[in-house]
Structure 1
Amino acid sequence: MRPLEDIRIIAIEQYGAGPFGSLHLAELGAEVIKIEDPRHGGDVGRYVPPFARGEDSLFFETFNRNKRSLSLDLSTAAGREVFEDLVGTSDAVYSNLRGDVPDKIGIRYVDLAPLNPAIVCCSLTGFGMTGPRSEEPGYDYILQGLAGWMSLTGDPDGPPTKTGLSLVDYSGGFVAALSLMAGVHAARRDGIGGDCDVSLYDTALSLLTYPATWYLNEGYQPRRMPDSAHPSLVPFQVFRARNGWLVVGCAKEKFWQRLVRALDRPDLANNPRYATFVDRAENREELLAALREIFAERDVQEWLSTLAAAGVPSGPINDVADAIAEPHTHARGLIVETEHPVFGTVRSVRSPVQFGDSVVEHRRAPRRNEDFDVVLRGLLGYDEDRILRYAAAGAFGPDRSAAQPASETGRDADPGNRTSTPGSTR
């Protein structure tokens, strides 16, 4: 068995941060059931350009492999009944909504504990459920500015700069997944679930790490450094070679000694002004001026070969195509393929989470409401009359007057074996 095969998660998620967090749980085997609002066409990620066709997009495929999809209108009494039946047979309710919304729509532990005392309610919000910003929407760009990241990123003479990827969103997804698993562990041990109040803001602030500690204790003012340099380790930055750029890092004294030997510059090795971390930091400008002249004399690949042979940490500045083509990428099995009815063979980057040596068989992201039968008939055991009654009451959307035939789903209706958790009603 994969490590999380006995865990079921109801995911009221959309776009990037939330789906990114549950993606890793799904790839570890958890059954993640996406609840998609039929009034709004489901997850907004389905429509993100430029590679979107109808209700399918490569953006959505990126974040939703190995999940299931059910269209369910939680604003209707009938939709709420179906949701509550799912809560009774699940381990967690996971969401990424504005901080005040989980309380408004009744998906906090106090709302769901009567249905399942062991349920874990994990909410990833922009700013958390408390504090003066709790009702504000949170977006990665805004958080990077608010949490100080942009003041640390980019060239000193340029504008404040965001990271090249949405790292607040993705880090928040990781934190939410970790919090959810901690909650499920505690619930299985104690029989009592609870809330996980996770926020992008908390995540972004926590990632300030040692610069924040330096500021809080010594009044240190972080600043942007030329050539993406480390604030205290010299040299540890990018250097321009004759035909491009490379990264060189001396995070230990032994690497500095190896570097000057590789450069064939005994004058640098023997200069007391560069003898230690502290010395090199104090004389940063003159040392880096000398190193820039040296690195400009040869091509990137020549330097990388020389530095690798000398045992100096270094690497190229790859673009995305180069990174995908790296032999190590393929040796680690980081590219996965799934078959999609619109896009054909879809290649994407797998989750980095790993346990054991079993090979994961990846399933493409679900079409909207594709798992109607799997969830309602297979998992919850609804009969046709009950499904028709809920459909007529608007549980599955205003345009749904009858239940979807099993032949339309294209999925196995067997929801798989499940293991009960203390306090659940399975």
Structure 2
Amino acid sequence: MMPLADIRVIALEQYGAGPFGSVHLADLGADVIKIEDPEAGGDVGRYVPPYADGEDSLFFETFNRNKRSIGLDIRHPQGRAVFEDLVRNADAVYSNLRGDVPAKLHIRYDDLKEVNPRIVCCSLSGFGMTGPRSAEPGYDYVLQGLAGWMTLTGEPDGPPAKTGPSLVDYSGGLVAAISLLAGVHAARRDGVGMDCDLSLYDTAMGMLTYLATWHLNAGYEPGRTRRSAHPSLVPFQVFSAKDGWLVLGCAKEKFWHRLVKALDRPELAGDPRFATFKDRAVHQAELQDILDGVLATRTVAQWLDLLRAAAVPCAPVNDVSQALDEEQTAARRLVVTADHPVFGQVRMVRSPVRVGIDRRRHHRAPRRGEHTEEILTGLLGYDQTVVERLRAAHVFGAEPPARPAPSTAVSER
């Protein structure tokens, strides 16, 4: 049995942050049931270009494997009744909507506790349910600017920059998943559910970590560093070799001593300018020039062989293709493959969350409303007469165009 096989999550989620959080739960066996608004055409992630065809997109596949989908208008009185039946049979209601929307949709704990006193209502929004920005939409780019991240990313003489991946979105999803699991644990222990009010803003601010602590207590002013250098550990940055770039880092003094031996410059360890982290930080520019001169004499591959043999933390600066082709990627079975009726074989990166024995079988992301009847009859016990009455009331919206029945089994590379 999968670790979360006894947890059911009703997800009113869309796009990236919310689905990224719940896909880890689904990969661990949780029954994640996506409620997709038929009036909006379902999760907007279904239509994200450039790799999209109708209601299928590779973006959507990335964040929604192993989930089920039901098309349902929860604003419709009969749709609301179905929603509340789902809540009765669930552990959590999970959403990533604007901070004021859970109140409008009546999906907070106070709205649902009479339906299920143990329900955990987990809301991930841009700015949370409180504060002057609670009713504003929040996106990764916006939060990276607001929380100071863009002043820390890129070269000092360049424009403000975001991180490559949408780290606020993805970190927010992970924070929400952790909060949901903690809430379910407490609800099972105490018999009482709760609200979990998460936000991308809180996540972005929390991830300032020691930089915020240094500023709050010592007046430190963080800024961008050349070549992505660490603000205090020297050397710890990217360097240019004969044919490209590599990262090397001395997070401990022992690595500095290993590095100078591997570079055949052992005298640098005894140089008073470079004796300690503090000394090397003062003389960082001088040290960088010296290391640049040494590293320019050999290729990246040659240096990596020497540095790895010396147990110095190092890596090439890979592009995405090279990263996916790394032998460590294959050894950790980080890529899964699924048959898809539109895209043929879809390969994607699996969840890094591992608990016990790895999951061996995954399933492609669901079509919009694909599991509506299965959920209504199998989970909620509705008979066909009730299902047809709800369909006639347009509670489920129009069904998406039919496509060939796909294979759902997924293998791991």
| TM above 0.5 | yes
Mapped to 1, the partners of 2:332 and 2:266 lie a distance apart of 39
Mapped to 2, the partners of 1:98 and 1:304 lie a distance apart of 47
Letter in 1 for 2:168: V
Matched with 1:415 is none
1:373 Cα deviation after fit: 1.9
1:411 Cα deviation after fit: 10
SS in 2 for 1:189: helix
SS in 2 for 1:288: helix
SS in 1 for 2:306: helix
Letter in 2 for 1:338: A
1:63-102 matches, cutoff 5 A: 63-102=63-102
Mapped to 2, the partners of 1:81 and 1:314 lie a distance apart of 57
> Deviation digits for residues 374-394 of structure 1, max 9, x if unmatched?
201111111111112222222
Q: Is the 8 A contact 1:245 1:317 kept in 2?
A: yes
Q: Is the alpha carbon distance of 1:258 and 1:410 closer, same or farther for their aligned partners in structure 2, counting shifts above 3 Å?
A: closer
Could you tell me the percent identity over the aligned residues? 67
Letter in 1 for 2:378: G
Give TM-score scaled by structure 2 length.
0.96
SS in 1 for 2:361: coil
Matched with 2:103 is 103
Q: Is the alpha carbon distance of 1:11 and 1:409 closer, same or farther for their aligned partners in structure 2, counting shifts above 3 Å?
A: farther
1:15-26 matches, cutoff 5 A: 15-26=15-26
Alignment coverage as a number of residue pairs:
407
Mapped to 1, the partners of 2:359 and 2:210 lie a distance apart of 38
Mind listing any 5+ residue stretches in structure 2 that lack a counterpart? 409-413
Kindly indicate whether residue 29 of structure 2 is the aligned counterpart of residue 12 of structure 1. no
Letter in 2 for 1:381: G
Matched with 2:319 is 319
Q: Is the 8 A contact 1:10 1:33 kept in 2?
A: yes
Letter in 1 for 2:27: E
Q: Is the 8 A contact 2:16 2:45 kept in 1?
A: yes
User: After the TM superposition, which segments of 4 or more aligned residues of structure 1 sit over 3 Å from their partners?
Assistant: 408-412
Mapped to 1, the partners of 2:406 and 2:352 lie a distance apart of 29
Mapped to 1, the partners of 2:383 and 2:406 lie a distance apart of 19
Mind listing any 5+ residue stretches in structure 1 that lack a counterpart? 413-426
Q: Is the 8 A contact 1:370 1:410 kept in 2?
A: no
Matched with 1:305 is 305
> Deviation digits for residues 21-51 of structure 1, max 9, x if unmatched?
0000000000000000111110000000010
Mapped to 1, the partners of 2:183 and 2:283 lie a distance apart of 50
Kindly indicate whether residue 369 of structure 2 is the aligned counterpart of residue 385 of structure 1. no
Matched with 1:27 is 27
Q: Is the 8 A contact 1:371 1:409 kept in 2?
A: no
Mapped to 1, the partners of 2:197 and 2:272 lie a distance apart of 52
Could you tell which deviates more after superposition, 353-362 or 194-203? 353-362
SS in 2 for 1:153: coil
Mapped to 1, the partners of 2:317 and 2:407 lie a distance apart of 43
Q: Is the 8 A contact 1:373 1:409 kept in 2?
A: no
SS in 1 for 2:9: strand
SS in 1 for 2:333: coil
Mapped to 1, the partners of 2:217 and 2:311 lie a distance apart of 36
Mapped to 2, the partners of 1:265 and 1:3 lie a distance apart of 51
1:296 Cα deviation after fit: 1.4
Give TM-score scaled by structure 1 length.
0.93
Mapped to 1, the partners of 2:100 and 2:108 lie a distance apart of 11
Letter in 2 for 1:93: V
Mapped to 1, the partners of 2:251 and 2:357 lie a distance apart of 32
Mapped to 2, the partners of 1:358 and 1:168 lie a distance apart of 27
Q: Is the 8 A contact 1:370 1:409 kept in 2?
A: no
Q: Is the 8 A contact 1:71 1:368 kept in 2?
A: yes
Mapped to 1, the partners of 2:274 and 2:181 lie a distance apart of 47
Q: Is the 8 A contact 1:78 1:394 kept in 2?
A: no
Q: Is the 8 A contact 1:372 1:409 kept in 2?
A: no
1:216 Cα deviation after fit: 0.2
1:395 Cα deviation after fit: 1.2
1:266 Cα deviation after fit: 2.7
